Amino acid sequence: MTISDTTSQVEKLVQIGNPTFESFYPSLYLDVKSPGKASWILRYQLHGKRRQFKIGGYGKDHEELLGLEDAIKIAIDCRKKLNDGIDPKLDIDRQKQPKLITFDDCANKYLIKKRTKIKTAYIYERIYNNEIKKHLGNIRIDRIHSYDIDNVIQRVLDTGRPAVANQVLLFIKRVYRLATKYKVVACNIAQEFSQTEDAGGADRKRQRYLEEEEIEQAFKVFSEHPHKIPTASYIALVLLLTLGNRKMELLSAQWNQVDLKRQTFKLFANTTKTEAALVIPIPDLVLPLFYDLKILSGNSEYLFPKRKSSKQPHISADTLNDAVASLFGIAYGNRKPGPNFLGEAGVEHFTIHDLRRTFRTLLSKLGTRKDVAEKCMNHSLKGVEKTYDCYGFYPERVEALNNLAELIMSLVNYKMSATSHVRLVTSG
């Protein structure tokens, strides 16, 4: 029987559509499920085990069209691989893997691995998207020169961000390590770069926190630039200072974590860095902010729903970072540097994470016991304490956070909406 005759037979079987599993060449089978659509299946034995896999589809309604002649060619090639002791499925799967050619290809491969392993993968994505991609992303990774890497690092250093420069270098090194592992490049040229000599220098543990006067001045600047710090962002910054959340614990929070009547904000174990659940008491003076957030968030299940098209349903990790940085005159992404409004107001540079350090420092200033303050931070206990100390210090934390809220709310000059006031009176 000729190829033409066999093709006619295949077409007839597919057209009729009766379920059938018929051989048309050694190891090659046509699997008909319904009229107009079928699949080519390769069936074989390797190391005493029967195996099979789909090599393509047949029929106009199928997404992967594969004619009889091409299917036979694949079957012949697979038989040759079997004779050499090679599993044809693994070899075909290998060929289907996306090619790692550009730096962007390798960076995305690395980021995919990170997303499945750590909760803070967004930090790596932010570093790549903001600082590296536009400079290296479209270049073949095997054609990138050392001076290309140096230029990227230097651009960051020129903006006065040595710690970010270190992160950039570390990211590039890890991408090159992956590229070396997959034989995309012969060597890791980034490995020649030193954090000390070529980037931001030795990492120094940050000690930055805001003095009370700085908090007052910073929020005055925030209120003067609502296009940079809209109401929702303003509230987020106040909550970071009064509740002590980690940034993403707050920005990704959902309304099912908040009980306005009981004045509690629950952190679930799977949403925290330490994987420890915590019930945060909401101070009386802070409660109006949640009522306002409820109005601002509309029907969203999130306290801080996304404003623009984003992969995440809530405000991204960069939103607050970029907004505050822009008021220091620091350019992010494609934006140009602007006036340093915060610096002109007498506020030294700070990051969003410095607000959490400020929260902890102010608790100490107000005389909060260390164990209570650490619980407010939701820090992990060490050693024996971790196993046996299950007391949550809730009453003590209520008192500590109320005292802190009294101080912070006197500095940030937040004006609650009339609706919030009505709700508070009603609930009271």
Domains for the chain: give ranges and CATH numbers: 3-96 (3.30.160.390), 103-198 (1.10.150.130), 212-427 (1.10.443.10)
Kindly state the tokens that stand for 426: 């009603």
Instruction: Please give the average per-residue pLDDT across 91-118, as a whole number.
Output: 77
**Ramachandran area for residue 158 (φ above 0: left; ψ -120 to 50: alpha; else beta):** alpha
What values do phi and psi take at 118, rounded to 5?
-130, 150
Looking at residue 41, what is its pLDDT?
Answer: 87
Nearest CA among 206, 204, 209 for reference residue 361: 209
101-105 long-range contacts (CB < 8 A, ≥24 apart) are 101/140, 101/141, 101/184, 102/137, 102/138, 102/139, 102/140, 102/141, 103/132, 103/136, 103/137, 103/138, 103/139, 103/140, 103/141, 103/144, 103/175, 104/133, 104/136, 104/137, 104/138, 105/141
* CA–CA–CA angle 342, 344, 345 (5° rounding): 65
- Mean per-residue pLDDT, 228-249: 93
**More confidently predicted of 294 and 24:** 294
Joined together, the tokens standing for residue 72 give 């036979």
Which of 339, 396, 106 lies closest to 224 in space, CA to CA?
A: 339
Mean pLDDT of 392-406: 93
**What average pLDDT does the chain have?**
83
Q: How many Å from the N-terminal Cα to the C-terminal Cα in the chain?
A: 89
The answer to whether residue 120 scores a pLDDT higher than 70 is: no
| pLDDT(422) > 60 | no
- State residue 423's pLDDT score: 44
Confidence at 196, pLDDT banded by 50, 70, 90: confident
pLDDT band per the 50, 70, 90 thresholds, residue 280: very high
Q: How confident is the model at residue 387 (pLDDT cuts 50, 70, 90)?
A: very low
264: left (phi over 0), alpha (psi -120 to 50) or beta: beta
Q: What is the pLDDT of residue 64?
A: 52
Return the bridge partners of 40, or none.
Answer: 30, 56
- Model confidence at 412, pLDDT cuts 50, 70, 90, reads very high
pLDDT higher at 35 or 48: 35
- Which has more confidence, 119 or 356? 356
| 373: confidence class by pLDDT, cuts 50, 70, 90 | very high
Least confident of 92-96, 325-329, 407-411: 92-96
Average pLDDT over residues 396-407: 95
Residue 427: pLDDT band (50, 70, 90) is: very low
